Amino acid sequence: MTALLEVDDLTVGFERDGTRSAAVRGVSFEVAAGERVGIVGESGSGKSVTAQAVMRLLPLSAEVGGAVRFAGDDVLGYDAKRLAGWRGSDIAMVFQDPMSSLNPLLRIGTQLTEGLRRHRGLSKPAAREEAARLLRTVGIADAERRLRDYPHSFSGGMRQRVCIAIAAACTPKLIIADEPTTALDVTVQAQVLDLMDELTDRHGTATVLISHDLGVVSSFCDRILIMYAGRVVEAGPADDIIARPAHPYTRALLDSIPRLHGELPRRLPAIPGSPPFGTVPADRCSFADRCPRVQDVCRTNDPALEPTATGRPAACFFPLDSVPVEVR
Protein backbone atom coordinates (compact mmCIF):
# COMPACT_ATOMS: atom_id res chain seq x y z
CA MET A 1 0.00 0.00 0.00
CA THR A 2 1.32 3.44 -0.82
CA ALA A 3 1.68 6.01 1.89
CA LEU A 4 -1.08 8.56 2.42
CA LEU A 5 1.35 11.46 2.42
CA GLU A 6 4.75 11.40 0.77
CA VAL A 7 7.11 14.32 1.12
CA ASP A 8 10.16 13.94 -1.08
CA ASP A 9 13.23 16.17 -0.83
CA LEU A 10 11.13 19.22 0.05
CA THR A 11 12.96 22.53 -0.03
CA VAL A 12 11.55 25.95 0.83
CA GLY A 13 13.46 29.19 0.35
CA PHE A 14 12.47 32.75 1.09
CA GLU A 15 14.01 35.82 -0.44
CA ARG A 16 14.10 38.95 1.63
CA ASP A 17 16.01 42.16 0.89
CA GLY A 18 17.96 40.38 -1.83
CA THR A 19 19.23 37.58 0.42
CA ARG A 20 17.95 34.05 0.07
CA SER A 21 17.43 31.95 3.14
CA ALA A 22 16.63 28.26 3.12
CA ALA A 23 13.94 27.42 5.68
CA VAL A 24 13.57 23.78 4.66
CA ARG A 25 16.54 21.99 3.12
CA GLY A 26 15.63 18.62 1.69
CA VAL A 27 13.04 17.03 3.99
CA SER A 28 11.62 13.61 3.12
CA PHE A 29 9.10 11.57 5.06
CA GLU A 30 5.99 9.47 4.67
CA VAL A 31 2.81 9.16 6.67
CA ALA A 32 0.77 5.97 6.35
CA ALA A 33 -3.01 5.92 6.74
CA GLY A 34 -3.93 6.12 10.42
CA GLU A 35 -0.35 6.73 11.50
CA ARG A 36 0.72 9.39 14.02
CA VAL A 37 3.92 11.14 13.13
CA GLY A 38 5.54 13.81 15.29
CA ILE A 39 7.82 16.56 14.05
CA VAL A 40 9.97 18.01 16.83
CA GLY A 41 12.12 21.08 16.47
CA GLU A 42 12.92 24.46 17.94
CA SER A 43 12.01 27.81 16.45
CA GLY A 44 13.59 28.19 13.03
CA SER A 45 13.98 24.44 12.51
CA GLY A 46 11.56 24.52 9.59
CA LYS A 47 8.88 22.33 11.14
CA SER A 48 6.01 24.75 10.64
CA VAL A 49 7.18 25.77 7.17
CA THR A 50 7.22 22.08 6.23
CA ALA A 51 3.60 21.78 7.36
CA GLN A 52 2.58 24.93 5.52
CA ALA A 53 4.29 23.71 2.35
CA VAL A 54 2.31 20.46 2.54
CA MET A 55 -0.94 22.40 3.04
CA ARG A 56 0.08 24.83 0.27
CA LEU A 57 -0.31 27.74 2.68
CA LEU A 58 3.00 29.46 1.92
CA PRO A 59 3.00 32.89 0.26
CA LEU A 60 3.75 33.00 -3.48
CA SER A 61 7.16 34.50 -2.73
CA ALA A 62 8.32 31.22 -1.21
CA GLU A 63 10.30 28.99 -3.55
CA VAL A 64 9.14 25.43 -3.02
CA GLY A 65 11.08 22.49 -4.48
CA GLY A 66 10.79 18.73 -4.28
CA ALA A 67 7.52 16.82 -4.27
CA VAL A 68 4.48 16.43 -2.03
CA ARG A 69 2.11 13.61 -2.88
CA PHE A 70 -1.22 12.95 -1.20
CA ALA A 71 -2.67 9.52 -1.95
CA GLY A 72 -0.37 9.49 -4.99
CA ASP A 73 -1.47 12.91 -6.35
CA ASP A 74 0.98 15.73 -6.84
CA VAL A 75 -0.17 18.36 -4.34
CA LEU A 76 2.23 21.05 -5.55
CA GLY A 77 0.48 20.87 -8.95
CA TYR A 78 -3.08 21.39 -7.62
CA ASP A 79 -4.94 24.40 -9.04
CA ALA A 80 -6.99 26.69 -6.80
CA LYS A 81 -10.21 24.77 -7.33
CA ARG A 82 -8.63 21.42 -6.56
CA LEU A 83 -6.97 22.89 -3.45
CA ALA A 84 -10.24 24.23 -2.10
CA GLY A 85 -11.88 20.83 -2.52
CA TRP A 86 -8.92 19.01 -0.97
CA ARG A 87 -8.43 21.17 2.10
CA GLY A 88 -11.08 20.50 4.68
CA SER A 89 -12.30 17.26 3.15
CA ASP A 90 -9.11 15.17 2.80
CA ILE A 91 -6.69 17.13 4.92
CA ALA A 92 -7.19 19.64 7.73
CA MET A 93 -5.02 21.73 9.95
CA VAL A 94 -5.13 22.84 13.59
CA PHE A 95 -3.04 25.86 14.49
CA GLN A 96 -1.34 27.01 17.67
CA ASP A 97 -3.46 30.04 18.41
CA PRO A 98 -7.16 29.23 18.28
CA MET A 99 -8.08 32.90 18.61
CA SER A 100 -6.39 33.92 15.40
CA SER A 101 -7.46 30.85 13.43
CA LEU A 102 -11.16 31.37 14.18
CA ASN A 103 -12.90 34.31 12.57
CA PRO A 104 -13.83 36.62 15.47
CA LEU A 105 -16.73 38.14 13.52
CA LEU A 106 -18.55 34.91 12.76
CA ARG A 107 -20.53 32.71 15.10
CA ILE A 108 -19.03 29.30 15.87
CA GLY A 109 -21.99 27.66 14.12
CA THR A 110 -21.27 29.46 10.85
CA GLN A 111 -17.63 28.39 10.96
CA LEU A 112 -18.48 24.79 11.78
CA THR A 113 -21.15 24.39 9.11
CA GLU A 114 -19.13 26.02 6.32
CA GLY A 115 -17.07 22.89 5.64
CA LEU A 116 -20.00 20.54 6.19
CA ARG A 117 -22.12 22.28 3.55
CA ARG A 118 -19.30 22.72 1.10
CA HIS A 119 -17.63 19.31 1.29
CA ARG A 120 -20.40 17.03 2.46
CA GLY A 121 -23.19 18.87 0.66
CA LEU A 122 -25.44 18.93 3.72
CA SER A 123 -28.53 21.14 3.80
CA LYS A 124 -28.56 24.04 6.24
CA PRO A 125 -30.60 22.31 8.97
CA ALA A 126 -28.69 19.04 8.56
CA ALA A 127 -25.35 20.85 8.77
CA ARG A 128 -26.54 22.62 11.89
CA GLU A 129 -27.51 19.37 13.52
CA GLU A 130 -24.19 17.80 12.57
CA ALA A 131 -22.31 20.85 13.92
CA ALA A 132 -24.07 20.50 17.27
CA ARG A 133 -23.16 16.81 17.33
CA LEU A 134 -19.51 17.72 16.62
CA LEU A 135 -19.46 20.26 19.44
CA ARG A 136 -20.79 17.61 21.78
CA THR A 137 -18.09 15.11 20.71
CA VAL A 138 -15.41 17.63 21.62
CA GLY A 139 -16.96 17.98 25.05
CA ILE A 140 -18.81 21.27 24.78
CA ALA A 141 -22.08 21.18 26.69
CA ASP A 142 -25.27 22.92 25.62
CA ALA A 143 -24.10 22.63 22.00
CA GLU A 144 -27.19 24.00 20.20
CA ARG A 145 -26.99 27.24 22.14
CA ARG A 146 -23.19 27.53 21.93
CA LEU A 147 -23.40 27.39 18.11
CA ARG A 148 -24.77 30.93 18.27
CA ASP A 149 -21.82 32.18 20.33
CA TYR A 150 -18.82 34.07 19.00
CA PRO A 151 -15.23 32.85 19.54
CA HIS A 152 -14.55 35.47 22.24
CA SER A 153 -17.03 33.90 24.61
CA PHE A 154 -15.07 30.64 24.70
CA SER A 155 -11.96 30.02 26.82
CA GLY A 156 -8.64 29.16 25.13
CA GLY A 157 -9.06 25.42 25.64
CA MET A 158 -12.66 25.54 24.39
CA ARG A 159 -11.61 27.45 21.29
CA GLN A 160 -9.00 24.85 20.49
CA ARG A 161 -11.71 22.19 20.89
CA VAL A 162 -13.82 24.10 18.39
CA CYS A 163 -10.86 24.22 15.97
CA ILE A 164 -10.40 20.48 16.34
CA ALA A 165 -14.13 19.97 15.74
CA ILE A 166 -13.84 22.02 12.53
CA ALA A 167 -10.78 20.04 11.42
CA ALA A 168 -12.51 16.74 12.13
CA ALA A 169 -15.87 17.79 10.66
CA CYS A 170 -15.49 16.09 7.29
CA THR A 171 -13.47 13.15 8.70
CA PRO A 172 -10.30 13.99 6.76
CA LYS A 173 -7.68 11.32 6.15
CA LEU A 174 -4.95 13.50 7.63
CA ILE A 175 -4.89 16.21 10.27
CA ILE A 176 -1.83 18.38 10.64
CA ALA A 177 -1.67 19.95 14.09
CA ASP A 178 0.95 22.67 14.51
CA GLU A 179 1.68 23.24 18.23
CA PRO A 180 -2.02 22.71 19.05
CA THR A 181 -1.47 22.75 22.80
CA THR A 182 1.39 25.21 23.23
CA ALA A 183 -0.85 28.15 24.14
CA LEU A 184 -2.88 26.11 26.63
CA ASP A 185 -2.56 25.31 30.34
CA VAL A 186 -1.06 21.92 31.12
CA THR A 187 -4.26 20.33 32.35
CA VAL A 188 -6.14 21.66 29.32
CA GLN A 189 -3.31 20.41 27.11
CA ALA A 190 -3.90 16.92 28.47
CA GLN A 191 -7.63 17.20 27.65
CA VAL A 192 -6.97 18.41 24.11
CA LEU A 193 -4.50 15.56 23.48
CA ASP A 194 -7.10 13.12 24.85
CA LEU A 195 -9.62 14.55 22.44
CA MET A 196 -7.28 14.25 19.45
CA ASP A 197 -6.54 10.68 20.51
CA GLU A 198 -10.25 9.85 20.60
CA LEU A 199 -11.17 11.44 17.30
CA THR A 200 -8.25 10.03 15.35
CA ASP A 201 -8.77 6.59 16.89
CA ARG A 202 -12.42 6.53 16.02
CA HIS A 203 -11.98 7.47 12.36
CA GLY A 204 -8.49 6.09 11.74
CA THR A 205 -7.31 9.58 10.88
CA ALA A 206 -3.58 9.98 10.34
CA THR A 207 -2.03 12.81 12.34
CA VAL A 208 1.09 14.90 11.98
CA LEU A 209 1.75 16.58 15.34
CA ILE A 210 4.24 19.40 15.29
CA SER A 211 5.71 20.57 18.59
CA HIS A 212 8.83 21.80 20.33
CA ASP A 213 7.90 19.59 23.29
CA LEU A 214 9.42 16.10 23.12
CA GLY A 215 7.19 15.05 25.99
CA VAL A 216 3.98 15.95 24.18
CA VAL A 217 5.09 14.36 20.92
CA SER A 218 6.40 11.15 22.46
CA SER A 219 3.19 10.69 24.41
CA PHE A 220 1.07 10.89 21.27
CA CYS A 221 3.06 9.70 18.24
CA ASP A 222 4.18 6.37 16.84
CA ARG A 223 7.07 7.86 14.96
CA ILE A 224 9.13 11.04 15.40
CA LEU A 225 11.21 13.22 13.11
CA ILE A 226 13.71 15.53 14.80
CA MET A 227 14.35 18.68 12.77
CA TYR A 228 17.21 21.12 13.09
CA ALA A 229 18.03 24.07 10.82
CA GLY A 230 15.71 22.96 8.03
CA ARG A 231 16.69 19.29 7.98
CA VAL A 232 15.56 16.05 9.50
CA VAL A 233 18.50 15.03 11.69
CA GLU A 234 16.99 11.88 13.18
CA ALA A 235 13.91 9.77 12.56
CA GLY A 236 12.40 6.62 14.01
CA PRO A 237 9.89 5.04 16.40
CA ALA A 238 9.07 7.39 19.30
CA ASP A 239 10.06 5.06 22.11
CA ASP A 240 13.41 4.15 20.51
CA ILE A 241 14.39 7.76 19.93
CA ILE A 242 13.69 8.67 23.53
CA ALA A 243 15.39 5.57 24.95
CA ARG A 244 18.50 5.72 22.80
CA PRO A 245 18.90 8.79 20.64
CA ALA A 246 21.48 8.52 17.85
CA HIS A 247 21.98 12.22 17.09
CA PRO A 248 23.88 14.31 19.67
CA TYR A 249 21.24 17.06 19.26
CA THR A 250 18.39 14.71 20.22
CA ARG A 251 20.38 13.52 23.21
CA ALA A 252 21.19 17.08 24.28
CA LEU A 253 17.53 18.09 23.93
CA LEU A 254 16.45 15.22 26.15
CA ASP A 255 19.11 16.04 28.74
CA SER A 256 18.19 19.71 28.93
CA ILE A 257 14.58 19.08 29.98
CA PRO A 258 14.07 19.29 33.76
CA ARG A 259 12.52 16.08 35.03
CA LEU A 260 9.76 15.32 37.50
CA HIS A 261 11.48 12.23 38.87
CA GLY A 262 14.91 11.09 39.92
CA GLU A 263 17.88 12.99 41.26
CA LEU A 264 17.98 16.76 40.80
CA PRO A 265 21.08 18.06 39.07
CA ARG A 266 22.44 21.36 40.41
CA ARG A 267 22.78 22.59 36.85
CA LEU A 268 20.92 21.41 33.79
CA PRO A 269 23.11 20.08 30.99
CA ALA A 270 22.39 22.95 28.58
CA ILE A 271 23.25 23.15 24.89
CA PRO A 272 25.62 26.10 24.35
CA GLY A 273 24.70 28.76 21.80
CA SER A 274 21.33 29.10 20.10
CA PRO A 275 19.70 27.52 17.03
CA PRO A 276 20.90 29.15 13.78
CA PHE A 277 18.63 31.70 12.26
CA GLY A 278 18.50 32.99 8.74
CA THR A 279 21.09 31.60 6.37
CA VAL A 280 22.61 28.24 7.19
CA PRO A 281 25.89 27.39 5.47
CA ALA A 282 25.35 24.34 3.26
CA ASP A 283 28.79 22.71 3.40
CA ARG A 284 28.95 21.89 7.09
CA CYS A 285 26.89 20.29 9.84
CA SER A 286 24.50 22.97 11.12
CA PHE A 287 24.79 21.65 14.70
CA ALA A 288 28.62 21.58 14.67
CA ASP A 289 29.13 24.74 16.72
CA ARG A 290 26.95 23.48 19.56
CA CYS A 291 27.89 19.81 19.41
CA PRO A 292 29.89 18.04 22.14
CA ARG A 293 31.11 15.42 19.63
CA VAL A 294 32.26 17.83 16.93
CA GLN A 295 35.35 16.96 14.83
CA ASP A 296 37.05 18.75 11.93
CA VAL A 297 35.05 16.90 9.29
CA CYS A 298 31.80 18.34 10.73
CA ARG A 299 32.91 21.84 9.73
CA THR A 300 33.81 20.94 6.16
CA ASN A 301 31.10 18.43 5.21
CA ASP A 302 27.37 18.20 5.74
CA PRO A 303 26.32 14.76 7.01
CA ALA A 304 23.46 13.02 5.18
CA LEU A 305 20.60 11.23 6.92
CA GLU A 306 21.96 7.67 6.99
CA PRO A 307 21.32 4.50 9.01
CA THR A 308 23.31 4.25 12.24
CA ALA A 309 24.18 1.46 14.68
CA THR A 310 20.88 2.12 16.45
CA GLY A 311 19.07 0.93 13.33
CA ARG A 312 17.60 4.38 12.79
CA PRO A 313 18.80 7.07 10.41
CA ALA A 314 20.59 10.13 11.76
CA ALA A 315 22.42 12.96 10.04
CA CYS A 316 25.69 12.76 11.95
CA PHE A 317 29.26 11.63 11.27
CA PHE A 318 29.66 10.51 14.87
CA PRO A 319 26.29 9.21 16.02
CA LEU A 320 25.87 7.90 19.54
CA ASP A 321 26.08 4.11 19.68
CA SER A 322 23.32 1.81 20.76
CA VAL A 323 24.05 1.89 24.49
CA PRO A 324 20.71 2.79 26.08
CA VAL A 325 20.53 6.09 27.90
CA GLU A 326 20.24 5.53 31.62
CA VAL A 327 16.74 6.35 32.78
CA ARG A 328 16.81 9.40 34.98
Partner 1 sequence: MSAVVINGLAVTYKRPGRGLRQETFKAVDDVSFTIEPGRTLGLAGESGSGKSSVARALMRVVEPSGGSVLIGGQEVTKLRGGDLRKFRRHMQMVFQDPYDSLNPRLTAGDNIAEALTAAGVSRPDHTSRTRELLDRVGLPAAFARRYPHQISGGQRQRVSIARALAVGPQVLVCDEAVSALDVSVRAQILNLLKDLQDADGLAYLFISHDMSTLRFMADDIAIMRGGRIVEHGPSADVFARPEHPYTRELIAAIPEPGAGRRRRRTAEEVR
Q: Which is nearer to partner 1, 52 or 189 (CB)?
A: 189
Nearer to partner 1 among residue 77 and residue 281 (C-beta): 281
Instruction: Answer yes or no whether residue 212 interacts with partner 1 by CB under 8 A.
Output: yes
The reply to whether 268 sits near partner 1 by the rule CB under 8 A is: yes
Residue 56 in contact with partner 1, rule: CB under 8 A: no
Distance from C-alpha of 236 to C-alpha of 256, rounded to nearest angstrom: 21
Q: Which helix (H) or strand (E) holds 69?
A: strand 63-70
Strands 63-70, 174-178: pairing kind? unpaired
Nearer to partner 1, 211 or 308 (CB): 211
CA distances to 36, 86, 163, 174, 182 from 74, in Å: 22, 12, 27, 16, 32
For partner 1, give the closer residue by CB, 30 or 213.
213
Parallel/antiparallel/unpaired status of strands 174-178 and 206-211: parallel
Q: Is 175 in the site for partner 1 (CB under 8 A)?
A: no
264 binds partner 1 (CB under 8 A): yes
Site for partner 1 in 183-202 (CB under 8 A): 185-190, 193-194, 197-198, 201-202
DSSP state of 223: E
- 103 φ, ψ to 5°? -80, 115
Among 267, 282, 296, 326, binds partner 1 (CB under 8 A): 267
When asked if residue 81 is in the footprint of partner 1 (CB under 8 A), the reply is: no
What's the chain's length in residues? 328
Minimum gap (Å) between residue 295 Cβ and partner 1: 21
DSSP-assigned letter for residue 87: B
CA terminus-to-terminus distance, the chain = 40
CA distance 211 to 182: 8
Residues that bind partner 1 (CB under 8 A): 42-43, 156, 185-190, 193-194, 197-198, 201-202, 212-216, 218-220, 238-239, 242-243, 252-254, 256-261, 264-272, 274-275, 277, 290, 327
